[in-house]
Structure 1
């Protein structure tokens, strides 16, 4: 029996298991390189300054009118002067079981075998927008210049390729973002996941997102 590249990648994404207490677990994969990048957004530390958005746009040359990353602000909680907000990172979740990859007819949407990052090959993208429709997080868009699907790639082709952290992580003044290898138990991101309660957006869908969140005690944002 022969398998296509997409069937192989999808099969690998399905071979995961969970261990440890609920909410503090990190899914394991059969990534032979032992690298599977993920991120934690600590909503209790985020101040909504949008420095991450500006850095993402500059480093990745994102045109005006579209965005790979947005920080959404909740409705105000409390009364003046004791008013609080919750800030929510809206970006690609780099799912283990990525619907955008499954529906792509050309293989343009893929999971990078070396990093676990969900990415897009613009040379293969035909702009059909199937991936945009399939993404439950509504984070993809058509790049106005390349006419291909685009979204956050954890700076895979920019900062990561230069041995740096993603631009959003480097620019955050409150250290609300932590990035690293989820398959390394000693990485900063893995240690943080063991130390703090976290949640993942729409985890009930079975997408296995690799963006985790430390919940804020203020506000509420409906996705």
Structure 2
């Protein structure tokens, strides 16, 4: 299935969105998508669920660095149901945030161009001054990670700290703050980068990849229990 403007807009601006099941794509990646020019970056992230301890240092750092208002969040760490039997009980943790899709439905449905993909970095971002609050992008996002900022009333989401840490030559706040190095950030077009090496040499999956969004958030699955999106 391909994500296109036709998939999400039918008739006079009506948004139609179908997720199907809560699917995912398990894969062992050996090749990177070379469709983007090599001069441009494709910034992506890996969340290693085997290393994540659910401490939420990443969510706290994201909120502080990006001045995210109370009541909304650009990043969440979700905890599974208990696995095993007492006293041998464990949990698995997974990241919920913008996937920075190669094929972003939120961009296709935006009537004003507020939602856009930066072709130099692959980051999906928002021109806040162009946002009219129609909510089309919120409805179209298969991952339901967009929200309205209660202070400026525009669509908001993770942008890899583009205006804060990245602008200062730093890694995203979540990556910097992780005590177990469960987050890896870098250029997917650079085959020598750490993120490319991890994706090439470990089993990874992407949430709802069957929808054709081509998310750039990869996950190393937890080894206990069933992997699900």
Would you call these one fold, judging by a TM-score over 0.5? yes
SS at match of 2:186: strand
SS at match of 1:199: strand
SS at match of 1:212: strand
Asked whether 1:122 is paired with 2:128, we answer yes
Asked whether 1:149 is paired with 2:143, we answer no
Tell me the TM-score normalized by structure 1: 0.88
Q: Which has the higher contact order (CA 8 A, sep 6+)?
A: 2
Gaps of 5+ in 1: 1-5, 7-21
Tell me the TM-score normalized by structure 2: 0.85
Gaps of 5+ in 2: 6-26
The 5 A counterparts of 1:1-223 are 22-24=27-29, 25-31=31-37, 33-219=39-225, 223=229
Provide the aligned C-alpha RMSD in A: 1.4
Contact 2:38-2:189 at 8 Å conserved across structures: no
Deviation at 1:136, TM superposition (A): 0.4
Cα displacement string for residues 97-144 of structure 1 (whole angstroms, at most 9, x for unaligned residues): 000000000000000122100001100000000000000000000000
Distance in 2, matches of 1:42 and 1:48, equals: 11
Which aligned segments of 4 or more residues in structure 1 are displaced greater than 6 angstroms? none
Corresponding residue number in structure 2 for 1:11: none
**24-33 or 42-51: bigger deviation:** 24-33
Distance in 2, matches of 1:149 and 1:31, equals: 29
Contact 1:38-1:179 at 8 Å conserved across structures: yes
Contact 1:203-1:209 at 8 Å conserved across structures: yes
